[in-house]
Amino acid sequence: MKESEKPEKGNQIIEEAAQAEYKYGFVTDIETEVIPKGLDEDVVRRISALKGEPEWLLEFRLKAYRHWLTLKAPTWGHVHVPEIDYQAISYYAAPRQKAANDKKEIDPELKKTFDKLGIPLEEQLRLSGMAVDAVMDSVSVKTTYRERLAELGVIFCSISEAVKDYPDLVRKYLGKVVPYTDNFYAALNSAVFSDGSFVYIPKGVRCPMELSTYFRINAAQTGQFERTLIVADDDAYVSYLEGCTAPMRDENQLHAAIVEIVVEDRAEVKYSTVQNWYPGDKDGKGGIYNLVTKRGLCRGDHSKLSWTQVETGSAITWKYPSCVLKGDHSVGEFYSVALTNNWQEADTGTKMIHLGKHSTSTIVSKGISAGHSQNSYRGMVKIAPKATGCRNFTQCDSLLLSDTSGAHTFPVIEVGNDTSVVEHEATTSKINEDQIFYCNQRGISTEDAVGLIVNGYAKEVMAKLPMEFAVEAQKLLSVSLEGAVG
Amino acid sequence: MLVIKDLQASIEDKQILKGINLTVKPGEVHAIMGPNGSGKSTLSAVLTGNPAYTVTGGSVEFYGKDLLALSPEDRAHEGVFLSFQYPVEIPGVSMVNFMRTAMNEKRKYFGQEPLSAADFLKIMREKRSIVQLDNKLASRAVNEGFSGGEKKRNEIFQMAMLEPKLSILDETDSGLDIDALRIVASGVNTLKSKDNATIVITHYQRLLDYIKPDFVHVLYKGRIVMSAGPELALELEEKGYDWIKEQVDSQQ
């Protein structure tokens, strides 16, 4: 804060929201195979053919496409998705790798790109125990540690490879948690999905390293439609991380993904996301439309699924990672930090559908709104009549950093029996000037103070992230707020 | 070190300070006393750059620098410390993280490398003992759930960590029982040296039994209306402020 500026009475935080620094806005100069813009059955067939898919999968795509044609984009979210011209998007873009035939030799340009993103693709360079599937535009360019994981029976590969190598497994689970009829964007994804990750953890195996997929959009005027499928068989455990970035562009790009998770008896899946798609500039120009369907089925008794998300990117976010708690004593968790700045809009939350007896769920949502952004929590807790003895605890907090931003909550609670207990707590607060001055007086600048306070506010959720991610996510929260304080 | 000349300040267009003059030299302890609403806390807020107040006239020099031209954080780096009357809670931010950030910001200001975690924790351990601050408190979030006494001890602990040249204690005695008062005062006395100075803002004489002032000033209606040695504090304790008020009001 400049001494000469007389601060306004009341909330003096944020007036001029300057451009927050986006470190990942570069474009990789690589020859990319892009199919012509537009969408029809031929395009769907072409994508399937390019990937050399079996007939059943093409049929799945075509059914999804035909169903999509009957649907309209949903308008109930507290976001303003403009009319998208689906004929102006290219649905398949693949960086042409120079050594395309040998997956072990990765193209130097691609390697450089992922190095720049902090995702080294050479196994020997990675000190931490994390395996990575790197996806650029429509294709997976490299999956590390595949062989080592295979020794334990763990399958970790791109979904395209899984279709070829493990067709029965993919066919058994694909579209079972999120059917193509689920919603408009799910139908679209089912018709044109390109790459994504496939994970299968066999019975009784505790996956010894974190698995992670890094999604990168590079090509212009394309959409990314990835699809991830994770199956944890009885007594299995896996922690999975997802990261994403895109170049800075004036145009809006569409990202419509599906994540499906199946958790069997006593198995546990932790799914963590640090979403940092390009959010657009300070005037709201450009940025990714992140319209995503994520759902997990806790099919087994005593199964557990935990979603943790740190959402700082995208011009528009529309996602509700959910848990269908079918197994008795199954556990669903949702921990979320959603930060919006400038003109970003986020409508995010979760659904906890309790079908199994004594199933429990926890929801902790922390929204942070700065600039002119709109930040909404939308959640549903539904307890079926036969699901007796269930518990849900929901805590839903909003922190406002500006007078021009909005925080909204849309909770729905349906309890079908009288032996279940549902708790809902909600708070809305403004960042406190006394806190900022206290930090200033100790020598901490206003920007750093806001970073500290916001990270303190989000701590409960950040603590759920795996260690390496937590540090990155903390930095990301501070960086996303740069310029958010006047 | 500190030269305040004709300092005037307002909040929300209400004039609070109407011309303060005060000079503080290294090694000195100044007590500023006065009835409620006389401007004592405003003085501490203005010296530390609280943006809620507007300086409307006068000057403040700190080691030859124009203090009023510096941002609040730069004033802190230059060595001005305020022990807050009402220390603020910052949920989720650990004392360790908070103090480490503060110290490293100061080091950065002077072009020094950040402290290593080990060095920092060692300093923290040493300084904690000065105010008998429990290790558990130090690992909790800033002031969150602290009792009144713990908050004040935590202020003096931070003062010990940051080693300021000028410490302003704003009503540090308010809300303290006698044991906590002793601990806080002994902390302040331990940190006292010939190179630093202290301004003690207080309503009562009580704290001055433990922190011996060299000078006592009475602030009333935004001006220092009387300055003397430590004996003035005793006189005020005995006679109250009314005689000074009458004296000043009759002159106006």
Nearest to A437 among B70, B72, B81 (CB): B72
Q: How confident is the model at residue A97 (pLDDT cuts 50, 70, 90)?
A: low
The first and second tokens of residue A470, run together, are 């937590």
CB contact under 8 A, A442 and B109: no
Report residue A15 as tokens. 């007036």
Q: In chain B, which residues have their Cβ closer than 8 Å to the Cβ of A446?
A: 73
What tens digit of pLDDT does each residue of B89-127 get? 999 899 999 999 999 999 999 999 999 989 999 999 999
Q: What is the model's pLDDT at position A346?
A: 93
To the nearest whole Å, the CA of B237 is away from the closest chain A CA by 32
Contacts of B105 in chain A (CB under 8 A): 443-445, 448
Confidence at A128, pLDDT banded by 50, 70, 90:
low
Which residue do the tokens 């011009």 mark?
A: A315
Best-predicted range by mean pLDDT among A275-284, A426-435, B165-174? Answer: B165-174
Q: What is the pTM of this model?
A: 0.83
Q: Percent of chain B at pLDDT above 70?
A: 100
Q: What are phi and psi of A306, to 5 degrees?
A: -125, 120
- Residues A348-383 have pLDDT tens digits of 999 999 999 999 999 999 999 988 999 999 999 999
pLDDT value, residue A218: 72
* Higher pLDDT, residue A254 or A19: A254
Q: How confident is the model at residue A13 (pLDDT cuts 50, 70, 90)?
A: very low
Q: What's the pLDDT score for residue A3?
A: 34
In Å, how far is B8's CA from the nearest CA of chain A? Answer: 16
Give me the DSSP letters along A56-97: HHHHHHHHHHHHHHT------SSS-PPPP-TTSSBS-EEE--
Q: What is the pLDDT of residues A309-331, one digit of tens each?
A: 998 888 999 999 999 999 999 99
pLDDT over 90 percentage in chain A: 52
Q: How large is the average pLDDT for residues A410-426?
A: 95
Name the band, by pLDDT with cuts 50, 70 and 90, for residue A455. Answer: confident
At residue A221, does pLDDT exceed 80?
no
Distance from CA of A407 to the nearest CA of B (A): 20
For residue A397, give how far its alpha carbon lies from the nearest alpha carbon of chain B (Å). Answer: 13
Q: Which residue has the higher pLDDT, B84 or A112?
A: B84
For the sheet with A237-245, list strands across it: A139-143, A130-136, A210-216, A237-245, A268-275, A304-311, A331-340, A360-369, A391-400, A421-430
Do A444 and B92 lie within an 8 Å CB cutoff?
Answer: no
Residue A264: the pLDDT is 97
Please report the domains of chain B, with CATH numbers, ordered by start residue.
2-251 (3.40.50.300)
Q: What is the CA radius of gyration of chain B?
A: 18
In this prediction, residue A473 carries a pLDDT of 76
**Chain center to CA of B185:** 13
User: How far apart are alpha carbons B32 and B26 in whole angstroms?
Assistant: 17
Q: Find, in chain B, the residue whose alpha carbon is nearest to that of A437.
A: B50
CB contact under 8 A, B68 and A455: no
How confident is the model over A270-295, as pLDDT tens digits?
999 888 888 888 888 888 899 999 99
Tens of pLDDT, residue by residue over B34-87, are: 988 899 999 999 999 999 999 999 999 999 999 999 999 999 999 999 999 999
- Cβ pair A3:B69 closer than 8 A: yes
Alpha-carbon span A176 to A182, nearest angstrom: 11
* Residue-level pLDDT at A247: 66
pLDDT of residue A12: 32
